[in-house]
Structure 1
Amino acid sequence: MDITLDKNDDQLSAILTVHLTEADYAATVDNKLKDYSKRAQIKGFRPGKVPVGLVRKMYGKSILVEEINGLLGKAVDNYIKENNVRILGEPLPVASDIDFDTQKDFDFKFELGLLPDFELPADQTLNVERHQIGVDEATLQETYDQISRQYGESTNPEASEASDYLYGKLKKADEEGEGRTVLLPINKVKNNVDKFIGVKANDSVTFDLKDAFDGDASAIANFSGLSKDEAANASGEYVLNVEKINRTTKPELDQELFDKVFGKDIITSREEFDEKVRTTVQENYDRESDGLLNRQIVDQMVNNTTIEVPKEFFKKWLVRANKGKLTEEQVEEHYDDYERELKWSMIRNKVVEEQGLKVSNDEIVERTMQKILGQFNMEMTPELQESIRSFADNYLKQENGKNYVDEYEAILAEKVLENLRGKVVVTDKPISAEDFRNQAASQR
């Protein structure tokens, strides 16, 4: 057996050629034929007495192909590992004319995509902004309104009032069809709000959408289902065909509500409830801010790291690796996104390798336990620990270990971003919750 690697001029792809001679496979094929002749059951012959020549005639070609395929797989894998060839995806077989009936020696070729060496940007040369989000009273009031809608008593009154919601179908006045289902909050209407007061089921309200919400594209998008761009360009009269009025009576701020929102006896007073709401809202915004910061770090690293990708190979590999799911046309259409994901994957792997980042089994189990507690809004106690641990272990074994791998990858990704965060310049930028929401909506 002889294996050669010939790099193309671009140094990003190569052809791996495996040359097999009869000596590489003949002995193994003969042994398999003999073994098969002992086990074969062919009419006219006693078990174990089938002539090897007959078995060769009937099954020799399939056994030969099977043996050669096995040899090729091991040979290619070993060559790549032993020679530390860094490849993209997997080797792609190059089509060729092979005659297993007459040939004794064979040449098999494989196309490889080669991953290049690259350098990460120097430490402290990239700049990102972290939003410091201030939670104002208006944002807190929205949170209390959400709590009221979720835990309050819902009714469908005959006529609408200023704090109600109108449920129905919205469409442009000159459009055909029913329109899209919406839930319009009357208290968000800025102009001509009287049109929405006293409305009953089966009524139709005709109004200027943009004027009603004072041109606030975010408010329009939030209830209408329109994209931010569509909402910004919405103009003219719209019709809302009302199907029902939704009204929610605010719940009492008592222990029953405290327990429903945060768990049994975790909060025991109105003061504690207000503080917990504020803290929870702030923590949620902080997580969103961290998520945005991480996305900025990824973007900065990808945009400022020079990586040459074997494009043509990558395109072919994407189609073959996703056979039946991705076409050549789809790959071409979204190629920039695929290449960006590949570059980030290479950057991430380089950080893991250079920094020696690892994830322990204890970290995976602990993370899973905390997720379970969060889902049930519980806090860890000594009494719960054993049962939650058992639940976590069982979850991680499900899906043939996929859940375990997913948790591993998630923790590793967090460690990579945490490491990179220390290598970029992070500037804090104060911003109100409302401005942050509007900015996030504009980037969707």
Structure 2
Amino acid sequence: MATITRENIAPLNDKLVVTLKKEDYLPAVDKSIKNYAKTANIQGFRKGMVPAGLIRKMYGPGIFQDEVLKTVDNELNKYIAEEKLAILAQPIALEQKELELNFQDPKDYNFEFEIGLQPEVNIDPKSINVTRYQIEVTDQALEEELERLRQRYGNYTTPETIEDEKTIISAEIAIDGQEPEPAAEGEEPAKPTDTAITLKDIAKGQQKEFKGKKIGDKVTVQLDKAFKGEILERVLGDLKLDKTDKENGKKTATLTITKIGFLEEAPLDEKLFDQVYPGKDIKTEEDFKTAIKADIEKYYAQQASGQIHDQIYHYLTDHVSLDMPEPFLKRWMKVSSEGKKTDEDIDKDIVDFKKQLQWALISSKLSNDNEIKVENEELKDFARHQLMSYLGGQMSLQGNEAWIEDYVNKMMGDRKFIEDAHGQVRIGKLFEALETQVTAKDQPIAEKDFTEMVQKHQHEHHH
């Protein structure tokens, strides 16, 4: 019977000594030699007729070594499981100079291993303080969304002439006196530059120049008189001119009208209410606005939730610090890199490695505390969701359900995908559970400030 002794050598760092008696491994060695004799292909012998003695002589030492090491491994794993040792990484076998595995002279052997132990994780979610940002829906946000919906369901027409200030004018634009480069032999002539503006984009004093014009008409303007601010910058950009150089604005250009379009916004009537919210039976503009506002609020609440999850994550990774057996982890990294990593590499890498381990330990402990389970259906939803976002909503669901299901089932057969998905779904559910337990204080914030804060934060994180 193999025996194992355990002693503590440093904080969260123990040494295990596995003692193998001859009778622990010899039966396995004999059995292995017999099996080998049955299957060995050796010249001059029929298969399965090779004498065991010859096998012992030729392959004995190798088989002996394999079986001894296999036995040690099994004993070690059995011990770790029975003692319920929560270990970090894998055990390290300690180098032993005097260990000669001699097939001719079987002995009792001692094998020494070093293990790292997981620190205790005790986190009370109530002790985590977060800010719940409450983004208010302004009248402006509501109006913008209303406008967007009316345009989306609006009616696009192509009037003969430019009349309404919301008319969209597409034109070829060229700086006066600047001939396009003549095309070299066999090359396409340079394409004219296109630009698109609405009549409203044109400076008040110049709008009359465009009113009543039809396709094919030409209008000549001084750029900075006809266009102001960002419209001017956009037109200069279309012309590939430096927009910081004031002189460029003074140039005159000729616009040849190529297309006239007009987007008539959908009227605020029951047809629109029904298109946006099918089956909700919305009758009045008031109720329509209330429904839109509720949608925006729901979107904002999701954003604020995501932000809380981010705060919780930072608290758990930056403010909780678990004791780690660092010297052991460094030795483990060295051994597992098989000599590829220098001590400097390891000093650099240990910081991230400890962070990853810490997050793995904390998230696993909190998932257990909260009994987080991931159901197969949730993995399928995750796969479906990911597939749809790859396709970027360019594919309608109608009529493609079978294809999507097939593809999702294919994803579900990919082990790497399942591991990733499982991790992401579990962490998502864990954050949702923690969000209901942490101590949150409400703070109103403008949407603009909230977005800026999130972007700044993401930016810092990508550096």
TM-score tier after normalising by the smaller chain length: 0.5 to 0.7
Task: Say if 2:129 is the partner of 1:127.
Answer: yes
Tell me the equivalent position of 1:6.
7
Counterpart code for 1:301: L
Tell me the equivalent position of 2:447.
433
Tell me the equivalent position of 2:160.
none
Aligned-pair CA distance for 1:27? 1.6
Counterpart code for 1:23: E
1:89 is paired with a residue whose SS is: strand
Q: Say whether the 8 Å CA contact 1:372–1:388 is kept in structure 2.
A: no
Q: Distance in 2 between matches of 1:362 and 1:145?
A: 35
Task: Say if 2:393 is the partner of 1:355.
Answer: no
Tell me the equivalent position of 2:22.
22
The unaligned stretches of length 5 or more in structure 1 are 164-188, 209-246
Aligned-pair CA distance for 1:434? 0.8
Superposed, which structure 2 residues align to 1:118-267 within 5 Å?
Answer: 118-121=121-124, 124-136=126-138, 157-158=172-173, 197-198=235-236, 201-206=239-244, 253=265
Aligned-pair CA distance for 1:409? 2.6
2:126 is paired with a residue whose SS is: coil
Q: Say whether the 8 Å CA contact 1:128–1:293 is kept in structure 2.
A: yes
Tell me the equivalent position of 2:327.
312
Aligned-pair CA distance for 1:128? 0.6
Tell me the equivalent position of 1:419.
433
Q: Say whether the 8 Å CA contact 1:161–1:198 is kept in structure 2.
A: no
Aligned-pair CA distance for 1:293? 0.5
Task: Say if 2:47 is the partner of 1:47.
Answer: yes
Task: Say if 2:110 is the partner of 1:107.
Answer: yes
Tell me the equivalent position of 1:410.
424
1:342 to 352, 357, 381: 357
Q: Would the alpha carbon gap of residues 286 and 148 (structure 1) be closer, same or farther in structure 2, given more than 3 Å must change?
A: same
Q: Distance in 2 between matches of 1:290 and 1:13?
A: 40
Aligned-pair CA distance for 1:118? 3.7
1:28 is paired with a residue whose SS is: helix
Give deviations 1:410-442, integer Å, cap 9, x for gaps: 332233223322332111211111101211222
Counterpart code for 2:29: V
Q: Distance in 2 between matches of 1:263 and 1:45?
A: 83
2:101 is paired with a residue whose SS is: coil
1:295 is paired with a residue whose SS is: helix
Q: Say whether the 8 Å CA contact 1:364–1:411 is kept in structure 2.
A: yes
Q: Would the alpha carbon gap of residues 344 and 47 (structure 1) be closer, same or farther in structure 2, given more than 3 Å must change?
A: closer
Tell me the equivalent position of 2:82.
82
Aligned-pair CA distance for 1:200? 5.0
The unaligned stretches of length 5 or more in structure 2 are 157-167, 175-194, 199-226, 247-258
Q: Say whether the 8 Å CA contact 1:130–1:289 is kept in structure 2.
A: yes
Normalising by structure 1, report the TM-score: 0.66
Aligned-pair CA distance for 1:344? 2.6
Aligned-pair CA distance for 1:13? 0.9
Tell me the equivalent position of 2:182.
none
Q: Distance in 1 between matches of 2:342 and 2:261?
A: 53
Deviating more after overlay: 38-47 vs 426-435: 38-47
2:37 is paired with a residue whose SS is: helix
Tell me the equivalent position of 1:234.
none
Q: Distance in 2 between matches of 1:78 and 1:280?
A: 56
Give deviations 1:236-290, integer Å, cap 9, x for gaps: xxxxxxxxxxx998866569xx99xx99979999979988876665544433321
Q: Say whether the 8 Å CA contact 1:92–1:317 is kept in structure 2.
A: yes
Task: Say if 2:105 is the partner of 1:91.
Answer: no
Q: Distance in 1 between matches of 2:322 and 2:233?
A: 59
Identical amino acids, percent of aligned pairs: 25
Q: Would the alpha carbon gap of residues 162 and 349 (structure 1) be closer, same or farther in structure 2, given more than 3 Å must change?
A: same
* Larger Rg over CA atoms: 2
Q: Would the alpha carbon gap of residues 370 and 55 (structure 1) be closer, same or farther in structure 2, given more than 3 Å must change?
A: same
1:309 is paired with a residue whose SS is: coil
Q: Would the alpha carbon gap of residues 95 and 440 (structure 1) be closer, same or farther in structure 2, given more than 3 Å must change?
A: same
Q: Would the alpha carbon gap of residues 323 and 291 (structure 1) be closer, same or farther in structure 2, given more than 3 Å must change?
A: farther
Q: Say whether the 8 Å CA contact 2:150–2:266 is kept in structure 1.
A: no
Aligned-pair CA distance for 1:337? 3.6
Normalising by structure 2, report the TM-score: 0.64
Counterpart code for 2:372: L
Q: Distance in 2 between matches of 1:248 and 1:328?
A: 70
Q: Would the alpha carbon gap of residues 390 and 136 (structure 1) be closer, same or farther in structure 2, given more than 3 Å must change?
A: same
Q: Would the alpha carbon gap of residues 35 and 323 (structure 1) be closer, same or farther in structure 2, given more than 3 Å must change?
A: closer
Q: Distance in 2 between matches of 1:397 and 1:328?
A: 41
Q: Distance in 1 between matches of 2:109 and 2:348?
A: 38
Aligned-pair CA distance for 1:120? 1.6
Counterpart code for 1:426: A
Aligned-pair CA distance for 1:321? 5.5
Aligned-pair CA distance for 1:76? 1.2
Q: Say whether the 8 Å CA contact 2:87–2:117 is kept in structure 1.
A: yes
Deviating more after overlay: 312-321 vs 22-31: 312-321
Aligned-pair CA distance for 1:340? 2.8
Give deviations 1:369-397, integer Å, cap 9, x for gaps: 5666776599999x998x58954761453
Counterpart code for 1:340: K
